[in-house]
Structure 1
Amino acid sequence: MGILSASVSVAKSDEEKNSLQAWYWYDWANQAFALTVLTVVVPALTAGMYNTATGTQSGDSFYALVLGLSSLFVAVVSPVLGAVADRIEIKKKILWAYTIVGVVFTALMGLAPYLGEGTDYMFLAVCLVVGNIGFAGGNVIYYAFMPYLSRKEDADHVSSWGYAYGFMGGSSLLIIHLGLGLGFGFSPGILAFIFVTSALWWLGWGYQLFLKTPEPSLPNPKEYDGWVDAVKDGINEVVNSFREIRKYKSLSIFLVSYLLFFDGVNTIGGIASAYGESVLRLSQQMNFVLLLMVNIVAIPMTIIGGKAASRFGTKRVLISALGVYCVVAILAVGFAPLELEDDHQRYDFQYDWDQEEGKYRLSTLYDRGVDSWVSDSGEGDAAFRSAFMEYLENEDGSERKMLDKQDAMLLAGSMGDELSHRFSFSFKGGDVDGQRSVGDLHPTRIGDGELSWWPETLREELWKPLGFGVNSQWILLGTMVGVVMGTVGAQARSMMVMMTPQTKAAEFFGFFGFIGKAAAFVGPIIYGITANMYNSRVAVFTIMIVILAGTALLTMVDLEEGASVASEVDDAAWKLNNEE
Structure 2
Amino acid sequence: MKVRDLPKKQRQIIHAWCMYDWANSSYATSAMAAIVPQYFVYLFTQAVGSELIFLGLTITPSAMYSIAVALSTAVVAISSPILGVLADRIAIKKKILCLYTVSGALITSFSIFVTYLPSSWFWLGVIFFFSNIAFSGGLVFYNSLLPHIAPKALLDNVSSRGFAYGYFGGGLLLAVHLGIIIMMPSDWTDFATRMCLMSVGAWWFLWALWTIKVVPEPTIFNPIKRMTVTKATSLALNELGKTFKELKKFKMLVIYLIAYVLFNDGIQTISTIAPAFGADTLKISTTFLMATILIIQFVATAGSMGFSKLADLITTKNALIVCLIAWCFIGIFGVALAPLTPSSENDYSYSLKFNQARGSYEILSLPELTDSQSDEFWKSKFGNLKEKDLISVDKSSELLNSVKSYDESQFSILISDGPLRSKSTIGPKHPSALDGPIGWWPKLIRTIFWSPLNIPVEYQFLILGIAVGLVLGGSQALARSLFAKISPETRSAEFFSFFAFMGRTSAVIGPVLYSLISIVTAGDNRLAILSILIMLVIGTIYLTKVNVEEGEITAQNEDNRIRSTN
Q: Same fold (TM over 0.5)?
A: yes
2:351/2:363 contact within 8 Å kept: no
Instruction: Quote how far apart the aligned CAs of 1:471 are.
Output: 1.3
The aligned residue for residue 167 of structure 1 is 167
Instruction: State how far apart, in whole Å, the 2-side matches of 1:352 and 1:315 are.
Output: 62
CA deviation vs aligned residue, 1:471-494 (integer Å, no higher than 9, x gap): 121111011111100000000001
Instruction: State how far apart, in whole Å, the 2-side matches of 1:7 and 1:297 are.
Output: 23
Matches within 5 A, 1:313-462: 313-344=315-346, 346-348=347-349, 364=367, 369-371=368-370, 374-375=371-372, 377=373, 380-381=374-375, 383-391=377-385, 402-403=386-387, 405-407=389-391, 412-418=396-402, 419-420=405-406, 421-425=408-412, 437-447=425-435, 449-462=436-449
Matches within 5 A, 1:178-327: 178-184=178-184, 185=186, 187-327=189-329
Instruction: Quote how far apart the aligned CAs of 1:110 are.
Output: 2.4
Instruction: State how far apart, in whole Å, the 2-side matches of 1:340 and 1:277 are.
Output: 19
Tell whether 2:473 aligns with 1:474: no
1:147/1:505 contact within 8 Å kept: yes
Instruction: Quote how far apart the aligned CAs of 1:532 are.
Output: 1.4
Tell whether 2:506 aligns with 1:525: no
Instruction: State how far apart, in whole Å, the 1-side matches of 2:542 and 2:71 are.
Output: 26
1:224/1:230 contact within 8 Å kept: no
The DSSP-based 3-state class of the residue aligned with 2:4 is: coil
The DSSP-based 3-state class of the residue aligned with 1:494 is: helix
Aligned Cα root-mean-square deviation (Å): 2.4
2:2/2:154 contact within 8 Å kept: no
The aligned residue for residue 177 of structure 2 is 177
Instruction: State how far apart, in whole Å, the 2-side matches of 1:59 and 1:195 are.
Output: 20
1:140/1:509 contact within 8 Å kept: yes
Instruction: State how far apart, in whole Å, the 1-side matches of 2:494 and 2:550 are.
Output: 20
1:567 pairs with one of 556, 559, 563: 556
The DSSP-based 3-state class of the residue aligned with 1:71 is: helix
Instruction: Quote how far apart the aligned CAs of 1:423 are.
Output: 2.3
2:41/2:62 contact within 8 Å kept: yes
Instruction: State how far apart, in whole Å, the 2-side matches of 1:437 and 1:193 are.
Output: 40
Letter in 1 for 2:127: C
1:338/1:464 contact within 8 Å kept: yes
Instruction: Quote how far apart the aligned CAs of 1:255 are.
Output: 0.8
Tell whether 2:78 aligns with 1:84: no
CA deviation vs aligned residue, 1:135-156 (integer Å, no higher than 9, x gap): 0000001000000001111110
CA gap of 1:37–1:55, structure 2 versus 1, over 3 A, is same
The DSSP-based 3-state class of the residue aligned with 1:335 is: coil
2:362/2:390 contact within 8 Å kept: no
CA gap of 1:227–1:410, structure 2 versus 1, over 3 A, is farther
Instruction: Quote how far apart the aligned CAs of 1:113 are.
Output: 3.6
Instruction: State how far apart, in whole Å, the 2-side matches of 1:408 and 1:32 are.
Output: 54
Letter in 2 for 1:9: R
CA gap of 1:435–1:60, structure 2 versus 1, over 3 A, is same
Instruction: Quote how far apart the aligned CAs of 1:426 are.
Output: 5.1
Q: Sequence identity, in percent?
A: 31
1:261/1:548 contact within 8 Å kept: yes
The DSSP-based 3-state class of the residue aligned with 1:103 is: helix
Instruction: State how far apart, in whole Å, the 2-side matches of 1:349 and 1:71 are.
Output: 43
1:412/1:435 contact within 8 Å kept: no
Instruction: Quote how far apart the aligned CAs of 1:424 are.
Output: 1.7
The aligned residue for residue 394 of structure 1 is none
Tell whether 2:4 aligns with 1:9: yes
2:168/2:297 contact within 8 Å kept: yes
Letter in 1 for 2:214: K
CA deviation vs aligned residue, 1:179-230 (integer Å, no higher than 9, x gap): 1112115712101210111111101111111111111111121113422211
Instruction: Quote how far apart the aligned CAs of 1:54 are.
Output: 2.4
The aligned residue for residue 506 of structure 1 is 493
Instruction: State how far apart, in whole Å, the 1-side matches of 2:349 and 2:457 are.
Output: 15
2:66 pairs with one of 64, 67, 81: 64
1:163/1:302 contact within 8 Å kept: yes
TM-score relative to the length of structure 2: 0.91
Tell whether 2:533 aligns with 1:544: yes
CA gap of 1:40–1:461, structure 2 versus 1, over 3 A, is same
Instruction: State how far apart, in whole Å, the 2-side matches of 1:59 and 1:221 are.
Output: 48
CA deviation vs aligned residue, 1:429-478 (integer Å, no higher than 9, x gap): 9999987552121111112x111111111111111111111012111101
Q: How many residues align structurally?
A: 544
CA gap of 1:127–1:351, structure 2 versus 1, over 3 A, is farther
1:7/1:161 contact within 8 Å kept: no
CA gap of 1:423–1:156, structure 2 versus 1, over 3 A, is same
Instruction: State how far apart, in whole Å, the 1-side matches of 2:50 and 2:193 are.
Output: 23
The aligned residue for residue 28 of structure 2 is 34
Instruction: Quote how far apart the aligned CAs of 1:425 are.
Output: 5.0
Q: Where does structure 2 lack aligned partners over 5 or more consecutive residues?
A: 52-59, 355-360
The DSSP-based 3-state class of the residue aligned with 2:267 is: helix
2:23/2:169 contact within 8 Å kept: yes
Instruction: State how far apart, in whole Å, the 1-side matches of 2:362 and 2:565 are.
Output: 88
CA gap of 1:78–1:433, structure 2 versus 1, over 3 A, is farther
2:266/2:535 contact within 8 Å kept: yes
Instruction: Quote how far apart the aligned CAs of 1:283 are.
Output: 0.7
TM-score relative to the length of structure 1: 0.89
CA gap of 1:437–1:94, structure 2 versus 1, over 3 A, is same
The aligned residue for residue 134 of structure 1 is 134
Instruction: State how far apart, in whole Å, the 2-side matches of 1:343 and 1:414 are.
Output: 20
CA gap of 1:254–1:538, structure 2 versus 1, over 3 A, is same
Q: Where does structure 1 lack aligned partners over 5 or more consecutive residues?
A: 1-5, 392-401
1:45 pairs with one of 17, 39, 55: 39
Letter in 2 for 1:38: M
2:88/2:492 contact within 8 Å kept: yes
Instruction: Quote how far apart the aligned CAs of 1:18 are.
Output: 1.6
The DSSP-based 3-state class of the residue aligned with 2:328 is: helix
The aligned residue for residue 25 of structure 1 is 19
CA gap of 1:228–1:326, structure 2 versus 1, over 3 A, is same
Letter in 2 for 1:497: A
Instruction: State how far apart, in whole Å, the 1-side matches of 2:206 and 2:193 are.
Output: 20
Instruction: State how far apart, in whole Å, the 1-side matches of 2:309 and 2:201 are.
Output: 33
Instruction: Quote how far apart the aligned CAs of 1:289 are.
Output: 1.1
The DSSP-based 3-state class of the residue aligned with 1:450 is: coil
CA gap of 1:221–1:483, structure 2 versus 1, over 3 A, is same
CA deviation vs aligned residue, 1:277-319 (integer Å, no higher than 9, x gap): 1111101111011111111111111101001101211010101
Instruction: State how far apart, in whole Å, the 2-side matches of 1:72 and 1:338 are.
Output: 38
CA gap of 1:349–1:556, structure 2 versus 1, over 3 A, is same
Instruction: Quote how far apart the aligned CAs of 1:264 are.
Output: 0.4
2:369/2:375 contact within 8 Å kept: no
Instruction: State how far apart, in whole Å, the 2-side matches of 1:24 and 1:436 are.
Output: 56
Instruction: Quote how far apart the aligned CAs of 1:88 are.
Output: 0.2
The DSSP-based 3-state class of the residue aligned with 2:252 is: helix
Instruction: Quote how far apart the aligned CAs of 1:370 are.
Output: 2.6
CA gap of 1:433–1:233, structure 2 versus 1, over 3 A, is farther
Instruction: Quote how far apart the aligned CAs of 1:414 are.
Output: 2.1
CA deviation vs aligned residue, 1:100-157 (integer Å, no higher than 9, x gap): 11111111122224445xx011001000100000000000010000000011111100
Instruction: State how far apart, in whole Å, the 1-side matches of 2:225 and 2:65 are.
Output: 43
1:114/1:188 contact within 8 Å kept: no
Instruction: Quote how far apart the aligned CAs of 1:263 are.
Output: 0.3
CA gap of 1:349–1:576, structure 2 versus 1, over 3 A, is farther
